[in-house]
């Protein structure tokens, strides 16, 4: 059996509020192996997005740690975590997070250029063609539909061939039909690339397409279940 790509070790997160310490996550533990897909589901405010931020090394846990490919994220300084994100992770967000002053092609080229890749233009062009946007290379985000913008975001995430893809409500800004097409494409690209996928979603149908489903309730991880997520 392969070693885990992600090993979440007793992660807790507390913040201070007017009444004292507020616990957002409590003793979260799980592992993910290469090529696995997992959906993190739960009600609004349950801690899903906070957990995703900690997995990315963007937020720091109050206790516990996250191992990525055998490296402790929180033994690294911020610059080293940023470098690891650039090398190992791709991101897809509900709000697309495209740079409005860059064309579709330039948005997808950007992470490759930051890595010093000499083939950034050709690789980005090929990935945009792969997601069906070969005729939109020179278009700026404001000239693209929501579904097209999310496909640009998918191309940008997958063009670096990340070991880990983190997706936060990737269809939240899209209508149902467009969201279905985007999710089908994301799962297809994920299979092709052999990426490990962590997907935060409130959509039970999307969650059911993942290999595993982790349910968070009031900051606690419920025992894993097979099949459908409990209502």
Q: What is the mean pLDDT of each run of 10 residues along the chain (231 residues)?
A: 87 88 93 94 90 94 95 94 90 89 97 92 96 96 94 94 92 87 90 93 88 94 63 40
**Domains in the chain: boundaries:** 6-221
Are 66 and 7 spatial neighbours (Cβ–Cβ below 8 Å)?
yes
pLDDT of 104 reads 97
pLDDT of 227 reads 45
Measured at the CA of 11, the angle between CA 170 and CA 24, to 5 degrees, comes to 65
Distance, CA of 169 to CA of 94 (rounded, Å): 5
pLDDT of 226 reads 52
Instruction: Give the full edge-to-edge strand order of the sheet including 63-68.
Output: 20-32, 6-17, 63-68, 71-72
pLDDT of 87 reads 86
Are 4 and 166 spatial neighbours (Cβ–Cβ below 8 Å)?
no
**Closest C-alpha to 154, from 184, 113, 114:** 184
Distance, CA of 216 to CA of 133 (rounded, Å): 36
pLDDT of 231 reads 40
pLDDT of 119 reads 96
Class of domain 6-221: alpha beta
């Amino acid at each position: 059996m392969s070693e885990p790509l992600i090993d979440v070790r007793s992660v807790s997160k507390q913040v201070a509020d007017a009444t004292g310490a507020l616990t957002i996550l409590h003793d979260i533990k799980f592992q993910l192996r290469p090529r696995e897909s997992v959906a993190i589901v739960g009600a609004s405010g349950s801690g899903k997005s906070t957990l995703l931020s900690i997995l990315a090394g963007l937020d720091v846990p109050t206790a516990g740690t996250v191992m990525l490919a055998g490296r402790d994220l929180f033994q690294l300084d911020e610059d080293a975590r940023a470098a690891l994100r650039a090398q190992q992770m791709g991101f897809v967000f509900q709000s697309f997070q495209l740079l409005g002053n860059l064309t579709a092609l330039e948005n997808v080229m950007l992470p490759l250029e930051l890595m010093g890749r000499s083939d950034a233009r050709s690789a980005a062009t090929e990935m945009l063609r792969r997601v069906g946007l070969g005729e939109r290379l020179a278009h700026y985000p404001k000239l693209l539909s929501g579904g097209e913008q999310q496909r640009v975001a998918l191309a940008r995430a997958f063009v670096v061939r990340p070991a880990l893809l983190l997706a936060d409500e990737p269809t939240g800004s899209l209508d149902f039909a467009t969201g279905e097409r985007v999710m089908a494409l994301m799962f297809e690209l994920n299979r092709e690339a052999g990426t490990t996928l962590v997907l935060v979603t409130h959509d039970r149908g999307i969650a059911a397409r993942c290999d595993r489903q982790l349910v968070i309730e009031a900051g606690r991880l419920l025992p894993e279940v097979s099949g459908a997520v409990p209502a």
